[in-house]
Structure 1
């Protein structure tokens, strides 16, 4: 009887450790994107992408997460939506992260569906802007180095216009964001949704940074993600770098959870992208 109880305790302990590590052990994934469209002045530019924090906490005042980002010495940080969670809204917790990031790099942000769902979009945007974050709402900023230019565009989550087709909304938002970009300008896009990959390809966006899919929540080794919003079972876009035409779409597995409290074989992810010019 004692052996059975010990085995049960051991089994529970192993499961608890497994779940704890899957939800708290940060993983960094690196990509190098090489193109002759990248201006020479931007060769080696390093971008850290964070997505889908959902009010999760990594160390006191996000200390573990901040240190992981800082070690990468990013030129830019992109936050691609769902910084907060609509089921346990705690903006101050998420701002603990942002307040530290802006002290050592430039931070760009777009909304996710949870910012819209909590009905606090204006409050969130204003709080971020007050910290110096570049909040992109269907618009573009041009950045220049040594006389050469690159564009950083960002679009709102399509839930902002909930009763309309997300594909149509994303297309129109992208049109607005890219309308003032000079032709042949290398463009980086922040957008929460990966399921509309075709729209990005059709618009010939160079690199798209997305999240939303949470890595499929449960990742089956050798197969991929199990389920994702907007894609259903065994979705196509839950992680990694997807390339078609001139477009690379990075899908970040995200950091936190929402309705489903556990990630399985799917550690919270920090994405690092380095641009390499082949001119």
Structure 2
């Protein structure tokens, strides 16, 4: 009887541990300095939300919305995979985004799952109706006190166009000297982003490596395989800073380990 009880307690603890690893939302903050950043944008706060994959955080995503609100963003970046191709359910994502647009301007680019589910028009239409700025290989100015930075967004390359060609289109009328923030789902193309005079790039896709091992990092990531190099945090590439979100949800593997779902806050500073 005692053996059975120990087994039951052990199983309960495992379940609790898995729930915590998949539902405990955390906020990770990075401060990025740049001489190129216009003075008006000193202190600007950007919240990055990535790879929701139809995960839920409270009733109608209220815990997630509150977490974003508490970060006091000036802009919110959605860097793809707001849905999951294996269990497509746009409604949960719509609840989250509907809350986000009440907080700050929202910008969105597709991930590979939006492309794979073949419902890109439906997803973009629903987000546009909510007031989201959908960036499809394009650029929008963000103005503050008479100064401007550029917010650039490209589709996921699964759509059939290579990354450089998409950037060529997005940056067609942009000067090299303007300060540029890029939303691009995949971090593994960061060298290409840097070559195109991007100042800060925001990506997800890697899910933090799914299982994070102490002293090692992520175990596996799409597009990078086992022991991937780019799964979380910031990376300097020439003059550019790459910001990689661990994301919020899961796809084929339903469990995260030592890899809490996160929203990312980037605070910009002019020096």
How far apart are the structure 2 equivalents of 1:70 and 1:21? 22
Q: Does 1:252 align with 2:245?
A: yes
Once the 2 structures are TM-superposed, how far is the Cα of residue 153 of structure 1 from its aligned partner?
0.1
Taking structure 1 as the reference length, what is the TM-score of the superposition? 0.96
Pairing 1:211–2:189 present: no
State the 4+ residue runs in structure 1 displaced beyond 2 angstroms: none
> What displacement does 1:17 show?
0.9
* Correspondence list, 1:70-109, <5 A: 70-109=69-108
The corresponding residue for 1:25 is: 24
Structure 2 residue aligned with 1:125: 124
**C-alpha displacement of 1:265:** 0.5
CA distance in structure 1 between the partners assigned to 2:221 and 2:170 by the alignment:
26
Shift of 1:93: 1.2
Unaligned runs of 5+ in 1: none
Q: Which runs of 5+ in 2 are unaligned?
A: none
- Of 256, 259, 263 in structure 2, the residue corresponding to residue 270 of structure 1 is 263
1:196-233 alpha-carbon deviations (Å, 9 max, x no partner) = 12111222210000000000111011110001111011
The residue that corresponds to 1:172 in the other structure is 165
The aligned residue for residue 197 of structure 1 is 190
Q: Report the number of matched residues.
A: 271
**Of 159, 174, 178, which residue of structure 2 is paired with 1:181?**
174
Quick check: 52-61 or 193-202, which moved more? 193-202
